Every structure is written in C-alpha cells, then in structure tokens.
Structure 1
Amino acid sequence: MPPSPGRRFGDGLAVGPDLRGAAEVAVAQALAPLGGATPDLLCVFVAGGGRGADGDAAAQAGLRAMELGGARTTIGATAGGVIGDGRGVEDVPAVAAWAAILPGVEIRPFRLTVERSETGADVTGLPQLRADDRLAVLLVDPYSFPTGGFLQRCNAVLPGFPLVGGLASVASGPGGNRLFLDGEVLLGGAVGALLGGDVAARAIVSQGCRPIGPTMVVTRAERNLLVELAGAPAYTRLGEIVTALPPAEQELVGRGLQLGVAMNEYAEEHGRGDFLIRGVLGIDVESGAVAVGDVVGVGQSVRFQVRDAAAADEDLTELLAGAVADGPARGALLFSCNGRGRAMFPSADHDVGAVRAGLGTDGVAGFFAAGEIGPVGGRNHLHGFTASVLAFQ
C-alpha cells in the first residue's frame, strides 16, 4: 500500500529533573515537523517516577504533555529509560514524545482492565474489531495485567492481528507505573490504540540472536523439557554443536544459550525471523534433557541460538533492511528491552540509531521496556531482549 502524501511524524526528547518542563520541551519538538497541524496520535513516555512524589511528578508530566499535544488520541507510559531525538537515555529523569499525522487512518483508543471473580479473571475493554482494523499499539503495566494470557487469547480469537508495544518499566513492584490515555493518568491495566483504514505500517521484531548448529526436530519432550532432538538426547546434540564451535562462540553459549522454535513447520527453510526465541533454563546431564522457557511439542523444529551485541546488531540491521525493500519508512515507534541499551551495547543510543538509519527516517521514539510485544510467525508474543518496532510508511 503506498503511503499517503499527508503523513508526517515528529519526535522529541528532553532530559532533566523538572519532568513537567521536560514534557513541554519534548512535545514541542515532536510537534514542530507537523507544521501546526493537530496530531492524530501522540505517544508520551516518561522516565522517572515510581511511588509517592516521584510518581506524582511523572503523572504531572504526562498530563502536561497530553494537554500541550492536543492530539485526537494520546497514549503513553512510564519507563526506566526513554527514546527520542536519535538518543536513548536510561536511569535519569526524561520525557520522550512522538506525534503523527495519519490521514485516512481511524484511531480508536482503549483501556483494558481486569475483572476478577471466584471463577477467575476476565480482561475487558477491547473494542469489537472492525473489518478495516489493521493493528494495535499496546502499553501494559506488568504488575496488574496478565499480558501473556491476554496475548494467547488474542491469538486464538483474533488470528493474525498484530499487537505491538511494551511493558511499563519504571517500577520494580505494583503501584509504581503510570499509563496515559487521552488526558487521564491510570495506575494499572493496559492502554492502547486500534489503527484501521489506510494504515501503511508493519511490525519488525528483532530478537537479537544468531543461530548455531543445525535445525532439528523434537522427537521427545515433556512440557518445557527437550528430552530428545533428532532421535538423540538433547544434551548430546547440544554438546556436539558446542564442541564444533570456535572458543569465542563457546563462551557465548556459556553466557546465555537460547533456543529458537520454528513458527512455521511447513517452510522449506527457516531463516532469520522465523524462530521464536526462548531462553535455555538449565540442563540435566544425567537424563540428557534441556529445560527451556516455553512448552515445546514433539515434531516442532528448533535451533539453538546465541545472543551478544554483535548478533543483536546484525539481526536488527538485516530485519530493517528487509522492511524497507519497497521504500523507506516515515516514522516508527520503538520498544527496546531494558536489557539492551547500555547493558548490551556501548551506548543506549544503539537501537534508535539503527532504526533511524535502517528505515531512513528521523521520526522515531519509544522506551526501554520490561518486556516487548510483537508478532513472530503471525502470532503475538511477549519477548525479552528484543527490539519491537512499528514502522509507518
């Protein structure tokens, strides 16, 4: 779908202890490229908050940003670090803003809440999907909302419908995060926006890994235990792979081995982006089983993976190059794991720099999340150590 000529995007970032003032600067920067037009969608991300006075300061910053932005729809969240103006900043007070003019796109904001009863818990608030709805942005408080279960339910009842977003990350316990929605500050649940109509956008999910060894079929498994791969004990197969690696690669295996689970069993080949990455939790040498962070079934194809800065950079760069094969993007939202940034790269600017360069646009903003939401193999998942990007043409 060719992009509408009227689409415009802007981003801004301001750092400083005066969060309200930072919100004013960041929003002004984000609005500047719009030429005075009212944004259809404004996203606001506030770093610095938590309980008590700090939480109140974050709330006031969000309220001020929503007031100044004047957008038809505004969503946002607090985070441990924010992204905008070509930079990523972590562990300091800051505000990032992203504004978009999206002609022909219908935007419907929503708030999700959890209603608990004796029989369980139900999520309410998601509007009924319309025929021309294309995707949704989702921002979540991880301490009050069952993200994993919600995504599984959406995959079942809304197959193939992409959700892109992240988990608020400023707090290390319940009650510390803030969510923003159209002039309101919320203490829990989830907020988001459904985008329908003339939506020229795509999700890019970079899980930051490089494969090692061959793709193998699971021939015996017990829930999250890989017992046999290609007819041999899983630990034996892993040992064969590691022994064949050079010493530097063997060190990577020791620091953080991962497993890629193929999402399409019928594909002739499985390449980058075809695997859902899950961590290897442990190895039982006596039984030969390998424990992983998900349930893997007999007959599924898997491939061991390693993750480091070089692999993460390579993965993101290649996925971005594929995303712009039909032309550069005009703007993007970026949800990068808080385990990336300075924890993985020399600078917190890495992911935003790579996205701006790879997509050929300056209009990129987002935050460092406590978990990233995005589709792999046509199904939505909650990821870790991932960069989840929503790129607009």
Structure 2
Amino acid sequence: MARFGDALATGADLVSAAERAVLAAMRPLEGPADLICFWISGADPEEVVLAGERVMALADGAVTIGCTSGGVIGGGRGVEDQGAVSVWAARMPSVTITPFRLDTVPDGDHLAVVGMHEPSPVDQAALLLVDPYEFPTQAFVERSTEALDGLPFVGGLASGAQGPESVRLFADGEVADCGAVGLLLGGSGIVGTMVSQGCRPVGPAMAVTKSDGNMILELAGAPAYERLENLINALPPEEQELAAQGLHIGIAMDEYADRHERGDFLVRSVVAADPELGAITIGDMVEVGQTVRFQVRDRDTADADLRERLRMFDEDTGGRSAAALLFSCNGRGSTLFSSADHDVRMVRQALGIDAVSGFFASGEIGPVAGRNHLHGFTACLLAFES
C-alpha cells in the first residue's frame, strides 16, 4: 500500500529548512521512500544548491528529483519570494520509476534533444522539470505525444531568484544547470492528470478562414482584427476591462463538437493585433478550418474553472486520489488570488487528500484533449492512488 507525506519549511538557513522538510515528509511513510520530489526557493544560488544536496543526501536510497523556483507549494500552503523548501515523499511499491536526463546537441540548424527513454508498456505518465532558457521546451513537449505514443507529460519550468544563471535542476544526487530532468512513472498507482486553464469564452466560436503560421488573417470570412474589434465593442464594460488586461484565444480541441464551451479549448495568448494588416497574432500555430473563440481570465473565472476541473477529475477517476503533485503558474498565487494558498487548498479539499506538493512555475506542462502542451496561467496536476 502506498504512503505519502509532504512538508514545507521556511527560514534564513535553507539547509536547515531542507533537513526539517525532508524528515517531516518521510515520517508518515511507514518504511523507506521510493520517490522524493522537492522544490527550493531562495535568493542565494549556492545555498540553494546546498539545500538540494542535503535533501538528496537524506533520501535514504529513494529516487530524487527537484528544481528551483520563485515559490513553492506544500504543507497546505504556498510560499512566494522567500527562502523555502517543499518536499513530497512517497512509498509506492506498485509504481515503476525510471529517471531520465535530457540535454541538447546541435543538429544542423536546430537543437536535438537526447536522453529520453522509450516508454515501457506499463508507463502511465511522465514528470518533466525544465530549465527553460536553453532547452526547446515547447517543441519537445508538443512533439512528445506522437513520439512517445500518447504518454501524458506533467511538470513545469524552473526559475531562479537571480535569473537564468541561478536555475538548478536536481536528480539522484546530481545538480544540473541546464536541460531537463524527469521520470517515467508506471504501474497501477498512477491516477491521472488534470489541467485547469482558468479562462472563460466570450463572443461566438468562429472558423479560421485565412492564416499564416501563428497569425490569423481572417475569421469567418472577415478580417480577424475587425472581428476582434466588433467583439470588444459588444462586451460589457467589466469584460472590456478584462480583455484590455490580457486577451486570450482558445483553439478548439474537437472540431466535430456541436458546441465549444469552457474547457473545450487549448488557450493561448493574443500577443499582437495589426489594424493595417487586419490580423491578430497568437501564441501558437493555427490552421485554416480550425475553430477558435476569444477568452478572458480573472480571479473568479480561474477559481470556478479549477473547482470544476477538480470535480470532474475526481468523478472520472472514482475518487481514487491519495496524493498529488501540483504545478501552478507564478502568475496565479497571490498575484491572481487573495492568497498564495488558493490552488493547493482547493486541490486538497476537492480531492480529499493531504499530500500535495509542487511549485509556482514559469510555464506549466500538461495534456489537453490527449495532447501534451506547454501552458501559461494554468494549474497542472498529477495524482497518485494509495
């Protein structure tokens, strides 16, 4: 039977915090841990590395994996922009754990990713932690669905308090300052994955009738900028304000659905609008014939979407979750909600579990409609059963 524990410790002495967190997380396991995941937030990169090494030294033979971030999640709370260590420990005899380390090598005019293992028939999901500054994260994640036979990826992009040079990844006693680390997870103990994109649609769904890469030139036969302008003018004042703060667009995942509502889209940012060209540019490639719908995000919408996603996930999986890893955007937390604790508290309450740990990511990885994607402003979850 699986056992799980998690703990979060803060303090000026990060090594001491690491010791307290890992020992507290391992206490409920009733035996040695099989897997320890940990996340470290701190201002001094050297001290952060020492804290990570201390966690791995105390792991007592468990597979270890972790990274740096601007904030960590654990112990029922979120902590941002201060020294903290969160540790999640699991005793999972029915789960196979296969670590991997990804690097890049030049291949013509682009980078090729090396180090990925071929999934075995029992593998159910993969955990992926990435240094985003030199690793082709989006390309790798987008291609992983076909390359790895539909294996779902969940994880996030690490960050450091002093920028790119302070990002660190940890895996099985080693510290890396580039690339990615991950785990293939198999067996009967994996419940599944969930992604909450936190948006709601506004205006009608429209077909893309002319496009060029990530530029939409026409929507439903009219210039895309004109469609957008008409939509904004028709919105009530409060939604116009939300659109002004950051408009998004959803790309429908099922072209054959009779209706396209919240949760039916892969959400991407609208990054530019060109009135002279009549076009809008979005954060992904789009093809003629695809259905899109503009989206807005606010605190209430993000709250409602996470609540609904968790409810549906719990129902679909038969309430089997006993623990989870959570990767929330660093644009959520106290920036979006009244508290950095929002997402972890809701996960614990909705799924009826205690051991929930993770970090505030610079980008989140999770599947939508059976395909792996790199996201922003989302909460991504990987759940385990007892």
**TM-score, normalised to structure 1's length?**
0.93
> Which of residues 355, 359, 378 is equivalent to 1:367?
359
Matching residue of 1:3: none
- Secondary structure, counterpart of 2:321 in structure 1: coil
> Which of residues 321, 327, 335 is equivalent to 1:335?
327
- Secondary structure, counterpart of 2:340 in structure 1: coil
Mapped to 2, the partners of 1:43 and 1:161 lie a distance apart of 20
* 2:138 equivalent to 1:144: no
Matching residue of 1:168: 158
Residues 47-83 of structure 1 deviation map (CA, whole Å, 9 limit, x = unaligned):
014xxxx222111111111122225211000111101
Instruction: Give runs of aligned pairs for residues 1-393 of structure 1, distance below 5 A.
Output: 6-35=1-30, 37-49=31-43, 54-116=44-106, 120-171=110-161, 173-325=163-315, 326-393=318-385
The 8 Å contact of residues 139 and 167 in structure 1, kept in 2 or not, is answered as: yes
The 8 Å contact of residues 328 and 361 in structure 1, kept in 2 or not, is answered as: no
Q: CA 1:330 to 1:71, structure 2 compared with 1: closer, same or farther past 3 Å?
A: farther
Mapped to 1, the partners of 2:132 and 2:337 lie a distance apart of 25
Per mean C-alpha deviation after superposition, the further-off stretch among 383-392 and 239-248 is: 239-248
* Amino acid aligned to 1:31: M
- Secondary structure, counterpart of 2:324 in structure 1: strand
**Aligned pair count?**
383
The 8 Å contact of residues 144 and 174 in structure 1, kept in 2 or not, is answered as: no
Per mean C-alpha deviation after superposition, the further-off stretch among 175-184 and 115-124 is: 115-124
Q: For residue 315 of structure 1, report the CA deviation from its aligned partner.
A: 0.9
Q: For residue 119 of structure 1, report the CA deviation from its aligned partner.
A: 5.1
- Secondary structure, counterpart of 2:349 in structure 1: helix
Mapped to 2, the partners of 1:118 and 1:259 lie a distance apart of 34
Mapped to 1, the partners of 2:290 and 2:216 lie a distance apart of 11
Q: For residue 172 of structure 1, report the CA deviation from its aligned partner.
A: 5.3
- Secondary structure, counterpart of 1:175 in structure 2: helix
* Amino acid aligned to 1:336: S
Per mean C-alpha deviation after superposition, the further-off stretch among 6-15 and 224-233 is: 224-233
* Amino acid aligned to 1:277: V
Q: For residue 269 of structure 1, report the CA deviation from its aligned partner.
A: 3.1
Matched-pair identity in %: 56
- Secondary structure, counterpart of 2:210 in structure 1: strand
Mapped to 2, the partners of 1:331 and 1:271 lie a distance apart of 30
Q: For residue 132 of structure 1, report the CA deviation from its aligned partner.
A: 1.3
* Amino acid aligned to 1:194: L
Q: For residue 171 of structure 1, report the CA deviation from its aligned partner.
A: 4.4
The 8 Å contact of residues 169 and 368 in structure 1, kept in 2 or not, is answered as: no
- Secondary structure, counterpart of 1:272 in structure 2: coil
Q: For residue 118 of structure 1, report the CA deviation from its aligned partner.
A: 5.1
Q: For residue 224 of structure 1, report the CA deviation from its aligned partner.
A: 1.7
The 8 Å contact of residues 328 and 360 in structure 1, kept in 2 or not, is answered as: no
- Secondary structure, counterpart of 1:269 in structure 2: coil
Unaligned runs of 5+ in 2: none
Give me the CA root mean square deviation: 1.6
Q: For residue 253 of structure 1, report the CA deviation from its aligned partner.
A: 0.9
Q: For residue 155 of structure 1, report the CA deviation from its aligned partner.
A: 2.5
- Secondary structure, counterpart of 2:166 in structure 1: coil
The 8 Å contact of residues 235 and 283 in structure 1, kept in 2 or not, is answered as: yes
* Amino acid aligned to 1:42: I
Mapped to 1, the partners of 2:58 and 2:215 lie a distance apart of 52
Per mean C-alpha deviation after superposition, the further-off stretch among 201-210 and 86-95 is: 201-210
